Structure formats: C-alpha cells, structure tokens
Amino acid sequence: MELERAKYKVIICDSFAEKGIERLSSHFDVTYLPKINSQELLNKIHEYDVVIVRGRTKITKEVITKGENLKIIGRAGIGLDNIDLKSAESRAIKVFNTPESSTNAVAELTMGLIIDLARGISKGDFGMKHGNWLKDELMGFELKGKTLGIIGMGRIGTQVARLAKAFGMKILVYDIIELDKEILNEVGAKVVSLDELLSSSDFVSLHVTLTDETYHMMDEEKLSKMKKGAYLINTARGPVVDEKALLKALKSGSIKGAALDVFEVEPPSSDELVRLNNVIATPHIGAQTREAQDLAATLLVEKIIEALSQKD
Ligand code: NAD
C-alpha cells in the first residue's frame, strides 16, 4: 500500500547514513537532529511516530512515556542496551534493530587487531611518530599455522573464522548451541570445550552476545586457563571480560597481550588498562565503516516502511 508522505513523523537522533534519510524522506516527514540532547528529545518526542537512534541517544522510560504517538523505535545497529525494552513492550511499541549490518565490519576489525598483536603495527607507528626506530624490538610472528579460538560462533564469529582460514590459521570454536556442520566444514573449524579452547589457542577472540551467562565470562579463572603467551581479543561487549582480572593477567604476563574494542564502561573510567604496553585499544569502532552504517540505515528503513505500510 502507498504511504501518505506526511502521515507519519520520524525523528532521527543520532548520525545516520544519508541514503537512509533520503529513502525515509520520500515516505515520511523526517527531522534529522543527530546531536539532540536528552532534554530536547523529551520536549519534542510527543510529535513523532518513529524515533531512530544508534548507540548515543537513550530511549528511556521517560522518553517512551512522553512519546504518546510513538509506534516504532529503530536502532541502526545491534545493541539494544540504550532502549528501555520493557517500557516499549508495555506500550506495544515495535523495536527494530539491524544485527546483520555490522558482521563484516567487526570481523575485519578483529583480524586487524590480531595482525597488529602479531606484528606490532601500532607500536611501530607510535615509535615512528616519536622519533624512535623500533625495528629490533618489533620482532613479530606470522598467523599462518597459529591457532585461533573463537568463543561464540554466530554471525561475526563465523566471518572471523572465514577470514582467519584465509591466513592459514587453525580454528577452534566454542558455543552453547549446536553449530551448522556445513559452516564448520567450510572454515575447517573444530568444536571443542571452553577449557580446551583456552589452553590450546594462540589467540582467543570473543564473539558472544552479552547475557547473564556471558557477563564476566573471561574472569580470573578462565584467563588463567589461557595458554602462556596467548592473546585475548574482545570486539564483542566490554562486560564479557572482567577488566580487573584482565589487568592482573596482563601485568603478571600470564597472558601476552590483549586487543580491546569494547570496555566495561565506555569511555573507560580509568586508563590503567589501555595504557599498558601489551594492550591495543580502539574506541568501539567495530561497526564504524561506511558500508556497515549504510547497510544499517538501509535495512532499518525498509523494516520501518514495511511495518508502517501494514498499519495503513
Ligand atoms: P550472534 O547472535 O550472531 O552470535 C553470538 C553467538 O554467541 C551465538 O552463536 C550464541 O549461541 C553464542 N553464545 C551466546 N552465549 C554463549 C555462551 N554463554 N557461551 C558460548 N557462546 C555463547 O551475534 P553477532 O552478530 O555475531 O555479535 C557478536 C557480538 O559482537 C555481540 O556481543 C555484539 O554485541 C558484538 N558487536 C560488537 C560490535 C562492535 O562495534 N565492536 C558491533 C556489532 C556487534
């Protein structure tokens, strides 16, 4: 059914790909305020049928209560932790996200971090910028033949496995669900217990969703089970790792290093962890590619158009 352009009003509260804004504007009355603050949103939300956010704007109970016309909350990306889902459900407001949009972007960043851990690219660059030629210090090693342990073999874990296979890495995986045999064969991955993965992997990469079970999954005990000289990569969610325990393990040298894109608190409340020499840190940039943002916008907009078409 053809939608009447001005029938629905949409407010976009965080930065959003231009393609998505154009497509939405051809159907709806769109307001784009990527820097709107929480008070401004509270003052305006009653005018809108749809609110779109990324990770910055919080759709709290108060916003939902004031949004008397709200029908849809759209999150361009995966995490829904900035949306009060209970309040949305109690008002029968639909919540859409696009978990599939950032798979490749996060997988590529993960490989970038793994290569950096093995070769010291960012250390070399830091040295060069400070007038230091660190050639002798930066003796690295190759990924070919090394073992990558993937915890959480979902969308991103699987894509990381595909990329790692191309580097000639051996792949071990651990997940709580039964994994697709075809995919395991395709990437040549072996399913093992968590303990076996930890004790056998040169790199352990986390790709689980954050749940009650995965909160602090990598605690002191699990970190102590990692092979001596191994590296941890977290591009999943900060709280999957107990940062205090990680700090201890990194300082004691019981693990060789870590690469972190996500943190228990973002930005981190203390810089002790990120300042360690054996840590590479990035500011939650896993999904920060033009392609992932375009895909998130496109997928989200189509979901919204379809849902509102069904309402008419
Ligand atoms: P997904 O749902 O496709 O995969 C998650 C996998 O984890 C599933 O196979 C699930 O069975 C497994 N899992 C859940 N609980 C587990 C447990 N206790 N033990 C072992 N395995 C368990 O999710 P995805 O799209 O692949 O995303 C993976 C992670 O990446 C999520 O935490 C997501 O929030 C994060 N992410 C980060 C960024 C970033 O910017 N760094 C961007 C997008 C997604």
70 vs 130: CA distance, rounded Å:
53
Contact between residue 45 and residue 7 where contact means Cβ atoms under 8 Å apart: no
Q: Across-strand partners of 75?
A: 53, 97
Over residues 276-291, the pLDDT tens digits come to: 999 999 999 999 999 9
- Four-point Cα dihedral 99, 100, 103, 104, nearest 10: -150
Contact between residue 10 and residue 30 where contact means Cβ atoms under 8 Å apart: yes
Over residues 152-175, the pLDDT tens digits come to: 999 999 999 999 999 999 999 999
Examine the residue annotation and report whether 284 is marked as an active-site residue of this protein: yes
**Probe ligand 1: pick from 56, 75, 78, max atoms within 8 Å of CB?**
78
Give how far Cα 312 sits from Cα of 7, 49, 159, 305, Å. 10, 13, 39, 11
Phi-psi region of 271 (alpha: psi -120 to 50; beta: other; left: phi over 0): alpha
Q: Which has the closest alpha carbon to 19: 312, 299, 307?
A: 299
Q: What is the pLDDT of residue 7?
A: 85
User: Ligand 1 in contact with 216 (CB < 6 A)?
Assistant: no
Contact between residue 153 and residue 173 where contact means Cβ atoms under 8 Å apart: yes
Over residues 200-227, the pLDDT tens digits come to: 999 999 999 999 999 999 999 999 999 9
pLDDT at 2 exceeding the cut of 90: no
Which one of 108, 284, 291, 302 is the catalytic residue? 284
Which one of 237, 275, 302, 306 is the catalytic residue? 237
CATH of domain 9-98+290-311: 3.40.50.720
Which one of 68, 266, 272, 306 is the catalytic residue? 266
Owner of token pair 């189509």: 302
User: What is the CATH class of 103-281?
Assistant: alpha beta
pLDDT at 101 exceeding the cut of 50: yes
User: Ligand 1 in contact with 249 (CB < 6 A)?
Assistant: no
User: Ligand 1 in contact with 207 (CB < 6 A)?
Assistant: yes
Q: Which atom of ligand 1 is nearest to the CA of 179?
A: 9
Q: Which has the closest alpha carbon to 77: 233, 239, 289?
A: 289
Over residues 82-92, the pLDDT tens digits come to: 999 999 999 99
Average pLDDT, the chain: 96
Strands (E) in 54-151, as ranges, are 72-75, 94-97, 147-151
Q: What is the Å distance from ligand 1's center to 109 Cα?
A: 15
User: Same CATH topology for 9-98+290-311 and 103-281?
Assistant: yes
Owner of token pair 């990924």: 143
β pairing state of 231-234 and 170-174: unpaired
Q: What is the Å distance from ligand 1's center to 200 Cα?
A: 22
What are the structural domain ranges in the chain?
9-98+290-311, 103-281
Q: How confident is the model at residue 1 (pLDDT cuts 50, 70, 90)?
A: very low
Examine the residue annotation and report whether 237 is marked as an active-site residue of this protein: yes
172 vs 159: CA distance, rounded Å:
14
Q: What is the pLDDT of residue 52?
A: 98
Strands (E) in the chain, as ranges, are 9-12, 29-32, 50-53, 72-75, 94-97, 147-151, 170-174, 189-191, 203-206, 231-234, 257-260, 279-281
pLDDT at 144 exceeding the cut of 60: yes
Residue with the smallest CA separation from ligand 1 atom 43 is 102
Over residues 50-77, the pLDDT tens digits come to: 999 998 999 999 999 999 999 999 999 9
- Four-point Cα dihedral 58, 64, 65, 71, nearest 10: 170
Examine the residue annotation and report whether 119 is marked as an active-site residue of this protein: no
Q: What is the Å distance from ligand 1's center to 67 Cα?
A: 31
